[in-house]
Structure 1
Amino acid sequence: MSLVKVNAKVVQDDSGVFTEIPVLLDENKEVIKPLMEYALKLKRDGKSQSTILNHIKATQLLLEYMASNSSGFITPQSLFESFSSRLYTGTIGDDGLDPSGLYWLPCSKQVARLHIYALSQITDWLAEKYGATSMNPLIEADSLTQRLNYAAWFRKNQHDFLGHIKDKHINSTVRYARSVQGKRPLGKQKQDAIEFPERYFEAFYFDGLGGALDRRVALRDRLILLLMHGGGLRESETLHLWLEDVLIDPFNPNNVKVRIYHPEDGKAPNNWRGRSGKTTRAAYLKEKYVLSPRNDLMGKKRVGWKSRVTDSKDEYLEVHWFPTIFGEVFAKLWQDYTRFLTGVERHHPYAFISFHRNHLGNPYTLNAFHDNYRQGLKRIGLKPCKADGLSPHSHRHSYARRLRRAGVQELVIKKCLHHASLESQVVYTTPTAKEVTNSLDAATEQLLNPIEPVEQIGTPSWEVLMEYGFNDIDPNGLFTGKNPKLGKRNGN
């Protein structure tokens, strides 16, 4: 079976609105409609693009497995159980052959469980809507599974301030479990968040990104770098910046305040109000430019949005420069950059644009920034490597660790990173492996070379310790007391 994933624009009524989602085409180039309907449901429910893509991928794998195993199964249940096993083991035998022709390599436990969960959701929805048999029905859980489910439920709800109103559902949640749950992944600590090596930052700023032949490109990319490294923003958040979102700091005229508004719900600039009375950026984009928010697009034009909290009822993230010199440098470069924009025709409000001759004036894309970032590293003799901190997101890690090393309180760090929970910053602010090693080396040195003489305290012998206090357990003084009747003193 040849299945193809494509992006489709789905029109559902007579309005001019379409919904762009990924869909699967079968061997006849026909859309698999039930899956398309489920993808539309996920889109309506506000699920992320990665979640929708995972459901599409899981369904594609299942359909390919069904087509390649034509011998059939007695029940849908047995089909799903066999399919889930192949996710973990792959389909290639010890002899290197695969009669099914799939040639799947084993998935990790995490990926396999994601696929199993996605397919469970899809088949349940199909069963409810069309009366089909769910491949992964709910069964009564055994007592151990009930306990594990309760632990998972408690972990999910303990930080929810409204959790107390949900416990009417706990019995049904705990008493049932999936018959095919997938292997439990190994417990592990959160991995170190690798920061950008500070020893390379100056060269990367001046000679890397700053080494671009086009001065406009160098200014734009260095501004984005400052937002990430000195303001802690994610790379995607920087591309949602509008020209109106940069303001002079009222407390420091040499600095600027930068606000990143939610691409849909953020308040439109200049107190704008649409014909229907709406004041959101989504309405502003549609009415002024006939555009959709960038987080609602597909393909290369898409720019995601991850943050679940904002700093104001106007729905924006405020950049907190640390140290403040980053904001002052940004202010100077911003003045130069905006002068270049006056001569470029733009049909959108976004601050960062493309200067490529084929895309001049279009909104800057993540793919284009990643290409320029790689070129910047190459100019100073480095190669992109997440494990070494040589990636765009590593600058956010640098920002967070800089705050922690300066002794900034956790609540303030949470505010600076725009996290919903204090726990979210743990991966950013826990000591690195190198810091742990350095700390232990210093402690070892202090232990071996104490500044003050260690007080010598004699340790009493067992005989002295047992002279008193054992009347209740050795009333005859056979082993304890000043003169024990059995056993001899002095270790003889």
Structure 2
Amino acid sequence: MAAIVKVQAQVKTDHSGSMIECPALLTEQGVFEPLLDYIVSQSHIKSLPWMNRVVLACQLLLEYMEVNRGLFSDPSLLFQSFVQRLSSGTISKQGDDLSGLYWLPRSTSNVNQLLSALNGLTDWLSKNNETLSLNPFEEASSHQERLNYAAWYKRNQYNFLGHIKNNALPELMKKVRKVRGKKDVIKVDGDAISFPENLFKQFFLQGIGSSRDKRVALRDQLILLLMHGAGVRESDALHLWVDDVFLDPMNSDSVMVRLYHPEDGKAPNNWRGRKRQSTRAAYLQEKYHLTPRNKLTGTARVGWKTKIVDHDDNYIQLHWFPAYYGEVFSYLWAQYLLHLLPLERIHPYAFVSFSKNSLGNPLTLNAFNQNYKSAMARVGLVVSKPEGRSPHGHRHAYGRRMSNAGMDIHIIKKALHHSSLMSQSIYTQPGVRDVTLACE
């Protein structure tokens, strides 16, 4: 089977000199252009994880097409078989695989994600190749010909992955994808997904707080407080700038923390750029020649999922619950700044590395997660998402804590910065222990 390799591409789309960095596929014929065109067309609105998912889905489909060349005359049947193999794997009961793919069975949710990614790709190909016919296929690469045929078949036969056009709503509602993933099992949020409240003090003091480097202990305790006491994701915390922490006018022993959108958030201190811009993206570019962390690739990238902001300056206001978490944060923040401010930094981020080889650089998610794992080991435990002992478990604990306190669901929605009440159900519905106690 010809190798199909995922690579990181830099694409020049104009004369500005600025390059778009995105994943791509490299085949025997070179870069697989239909996929790259699709990724580039969506790069300004889609995240890197989405790009990686589309590239993986396309890679798997092309690999399946390659080993089954000439076997299917109908692309719809080929795709149905492809989806079946994603679910069941390609290895026989005897442990061999004549196709050479050696795919293990994938979960229903993962298959559905890959199917959704391919839906978007083939919809886009169908829509943007209006003049496509079967004739040019002789000049196209084998991979491109097969994918183009799939898009052509879809547009002309109402088949392959389904058919979407600008129809009236009643007519559109009658249509479904011809090839669909299985319905996933319905998951409920039990006690396991929330970080155990009775473990937090020990983990905070003896786990995170007992790092041999005092600076690391302070930094990671501050991040942990943001997650556990204010409900932020670990990725959100790493977007914090030093200028985003303010004295609380209502409580002199506490602080207010604002997390600004990494691109569209307002720059600090009423900054204005040469072109009168005032966004953080412009500030980073003009002052530090940096790109917002959510637009980077590799280990330097830090995602941003929050879509709801609290202010026209594009920030979310964090809310401490209980309130004393804000006072603890304030106390530790003052100590942390004594270690941070003397460092030579060429960026505005608050949480930095104290390792010798990367001293002063923005802290990466990988580094924090490794520290989290080491801290868990110091209290004799291991990281476990099913048991809630993971960074995201603290956000669940925050939402569950508010729910157990009897807070109005609209207040909880505001504190978690969700776009809908449905989004927070996984954080606030009763856990397994709640149901057990109610039945006694």
TM-score by length of 2: 0.90
Residue of structure 1 aligned with 2:188, choices 190, 200, 207: 190
3-state SS in 1 of match to 2:86: helix
- Tell me how far 1:80 sits from its aligned partner: 2.1
Aligned to 1:10: 11
Q: Which residue does 2:154 correspond to in 1?
A: 137
Residue equivalent to 1:406: 405
1:336 aligns with 2:335: yes
The superposition leaves residues 359-384 of structure 1 with CA deviations (integer Å, 9 ceiling, x where unpaired) of 01100110000010011111111111
The answer (yes or no) to whether the contact 1:9–1:21 under 8 Å persists in 2 is yes
Aligned residue runs from structure 1 range 18-33, under 5 A? 18-27=19-28, 30-33=30-33
Alpha-carbon offset, residue 42 of structure 1: 2.1
SS at match of 1:258: strand
Residues 213-224 of structure 1 aligned to structure 2 (within 5 Å): 213-224=212-223
How far 1:18 sits from its partner (Å)?
Answer: 1.1
Look up the match of 1:42.
42
What one-letter code is carried by the residue in structure 2 that aligns with 1:101?
Answer: G
CA distance in 2, matches of 1:36, 1:290: 27
1:113 matched to 2:112? The reply is yes
Q: Does 1:59 align with 2:75?
A: no
Deviates more, 1:287-296 or 1:109-118: 109-118
Q: Relative to structure 1, is the Cα distance of residues 12 and 55 closer, same or farther in structure 2, using a 3 angstrom cutoff?
A: same
CA–CA separation in structure 1 for the residues paired with 2:128 and 2:411 = 48
Aligned partners of 2:252, 2:167: CA distance in 1, in Å? Answer: 55
Q: What SS does the corresponding residue of 2:77 show, helix, strand or coil?
A: helix
Percent of aligned pairs with the same residue? 48
Q: In the aligned structure 2, how far is the partner of 1:197 from the partner of 1:82?
A: 44
- 2:303 aligns with 304
Distance 2:98 2:277 in 1: 59
Separation (CA, whole Å) in 1 of partners of 2:127 and 2:307: 31
Contact 2:248/2:254 (<8 A) preserved: yes
Q: Comparing both chains, which one has the higher relative contact order based on Cα–Cα distances under 8 Å and sequence gaps of 6 or more?
A: 2
- Equivalent position amino acid for 1:210 in 2: G
Give the conservation status (yes or no) of the 8 Å contact 1:140–1:177. no
CA distance in 2: counterparts of 1:347 and 1:246, whole angstroms: 19
Equivalent-residue separation in structure 2 for 1:170 and 1:192 (angstroms): 38
Contact 1:137–1:178 under 8 Å retained in 2: no
CA contact (8 A) 1:209 1:218 kept: yes
What do the CA deviations read for 1:192-216 (whole angstroms, capped 9, x no partner)? 3611112221121111111111111
Corresponding position: 1:375 with 2:392: no
Helix, strand or coil for the counterpart of 1:137? helix
Equivalent position of 1:276 in the other structure:
275
SS at structure 2 position matched to 1:256: strand
Distance (Å, rounded) in 1 between the aligned partners of 2:19 and 2:271: 25
2:46 maps to a residue whose letter is K
Q: Greater CA radius of gyration, 1 or 2?
A: 1
Partner amino acid for 1:42? Q
CA contact (8 A) 1:127 1:133 kept: no
> In terms of mean alpha carbon deviation, does 106-115 or 269-278 score higher?
106-115
> SS of the residue aligned with 1:260?
strand
Contact 1:140-1:176 within 8 A present in 2 as well? no
User: Within 1, Cα distance between the matches of 2:168 and 2:369?
Assistant: 46
Q: Distance in 2 between matches of 1:94 and 1:379?
A: 43
Question: In 2 relative to 1, CA 313–367 (structure 1 residues): closer, same or farther, beyond 3 Å?
Answer: same
- Which position in structure 2 is the counterpart of 1:354? 353
**Residue in 2 that maps onto 1:459:** none
Aligned ranges for residues 77-156 of structure 1 at < 5 Å? 77-130=76-129, 131=132, 132-135=148-151, 137=154
Separation (CA, whole Å) in 2 of partners of 1:109 and 1:398: 27
Residues 199-210 of structure 1: pairs in structure 2 closer than 5 A: 199-210=198-209
SS in 1 for 2:6: strand
User: Would the aligned equivalents of 1:137 and 1:179 in 2 still touch at CA under 8 Å?
Assistant: no
What is the CA RMSD across the aligned residues, in angstroms? Answer: 2.1
Alpha-carbon distance, 1:186 to partner = 4.0
Q: Could you tell me how far apart the structure 2 residues matched to 1:122 and 1:226 are?
A: 41
Q: Letter of the aligned partner of 1:137 in structure 2?
A: K
- Please state if 1:180 is matched with 2:179: yes
Counterpart residue identity of residue 21, structure 1: C
Amino acid across the alignment from 1:124: D
Residues 89 and 103, structure 2, Cα contact 8 Å, conserved in 1: yes
Contact residue 268 and residue 284 of structure 1 kept, 8 A: yes
Aligned 8 A contact 1:124 1:134 in 2: no
Residue 258 (structure 2) aligns with:
259
Q: 2:91 touches 2:104 (CA, 8 Å); kept in 1?
A: yes
Listed one character per residue, the Cα deviations across residues 118-162 of structure 1 (whole Å, up to 9, x for unaligned) are 223322322333423335727679xxxx9xx9xxxxxxxxxxxxx
Question: Structure 1 length as normaliser, TM-score?
Answer: 0.80
CA distance in 2, matches of 1:215, 1:116: 47
- SS of alignment partner, residue 317 of structure 1: strand
- Give how far 1:221 is off: 0.3
Other-structure match for 1:164:
none
The residue number in structure 2 matching 1:485 is: none
Q: Which runs of 5+ in 2 are unaligned?
A: 133-147
1:393 is matched with: 392
Quick one: distance in 1 between partners of 2:389 and 2:310?
Answer: 30
1:114 offset after TM fit, Å?
2.5
